[in-house]
């Protein structure tokens, strides 16, 4: 039965040239719901990054990867979680870290072959500057992640059409409430992951 359905759908069985015919394979007719967009924060949600000057906070624990001046600890079951997400969502990563600081964390959490499955990887460059600074580190600016930049396809490299995603089918998972101030209530926040 399924093999018959996979063949073709014909609207008319008459051979008249005037008749319209629908000649599409059934698997090309995507009748199911489209995948929702899941935007994950890199540090603090799926991994914990510690500067070497603060390594005393994770003393005795072995990082999953070390790059530059950072120790990176992958969240438990992160690989399984990422596989689950890729099967069910269009997944992008958005970090308020600088581009060059993302690579080490990204290679740690996504593993071989998973990076190519990401719809996008955005850094601090794609964030909106708030004009405010962190209370704990006065030199560190606070950035906002404005989902409208995704929905309105601010950058052409995004692999979807403008308007394909909106507040109805997008979920941002972040650990810092201030980054989500510009977004609708559907934005979900997680408590920061710290490997201790």
- The residue ranges of every structural domain in the chain are 35-46+76-189
Instruction: Kindly tell me the number of DSSP H helices and DSSP E strands found in the chain.
Output: 4, 10
DSSP code at position 43: B
Per-residue confidence (pLDDT) for residue 39, from 0 to 100 = 95
Per-residue confidence (pLDDT) for residue 147, from 0 to 100 = 94
Per-residue confidence (pLDDT) for residue 154, from 0 to 100 = 93
Per-residue confidence (pLDDT) for residue 12, from 0 to 100 = 46
Per-residue confidence (pLDDT) for residue 123, from 0 to 100 = 94
Per-residue confidence (pLDDT) for residue 11, from 0 to 100 = 47
Q: Looking at the whole model, is its pTM more than 0.85?
A: no
**35-46+76-189, CATH topology level:** Rossmann fold (3.40.50)
Nearest alpha carbon to residue 175 among 5, 36, 48: 48
Per-residue confidence (pLDDT) for residue 14, from 0 to 100 = 53
Per-residue confidence (pLDDT) for residue 180, from 0 to 100 = 84
Per-residue confidence (pLDDT) for residue 102, from 0 to 100 = 86
Cα separation values, 104 from 119, 128, 191, Å: 18, 23, 22
Per-residue confidence (pLDDT) for residue 31, from 0 to 100 = 57
Mark the ranges of the chain whose per-residue pLDDT is less than 50. Answer: 1, 4-12, 18-19, 27
């Amino acid at each position: 039965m399924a093999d018959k359905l996979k063949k073709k759908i014909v609207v008319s069985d008459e051979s008249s040239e005037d008749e319209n015919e629908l000649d599409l394979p059934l698997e090309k007719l995507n009748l199911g719901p489209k995948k929702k967009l899941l935007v994950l924060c890199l540090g603090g949600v799926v991994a914990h990054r510690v500067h070497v000057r603060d390594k005393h906070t994770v003393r005795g624990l072995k990082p999953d990867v070390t790059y530059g001046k950072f120790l990176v600890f992958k969240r438990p079951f992160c690989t399984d979680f990422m596989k689950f997400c890729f099967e069910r969502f269009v997944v992008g990563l958005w970090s308020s870290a600088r581009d060059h600081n993302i690579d080490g964390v990204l290679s740690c959490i996504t593993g071989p072959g998973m990076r190519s499955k990401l719809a996008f990887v955005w850094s601090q460059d794609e964030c909106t500057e708030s004009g405010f600074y962190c209370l704990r580190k006065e030199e560190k600016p606070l950035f906002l992640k404005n989902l409208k930049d995704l929905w309105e396809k601010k950058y052409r490299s995004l692999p979807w059409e403008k308007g394909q995603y909106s507040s109805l089918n997008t979920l941002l998972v972040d650990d810092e409430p201030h980054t989500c101030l510009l977004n609708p209530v559907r934005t979900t926040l997680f408590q920061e992951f710290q490997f201790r």
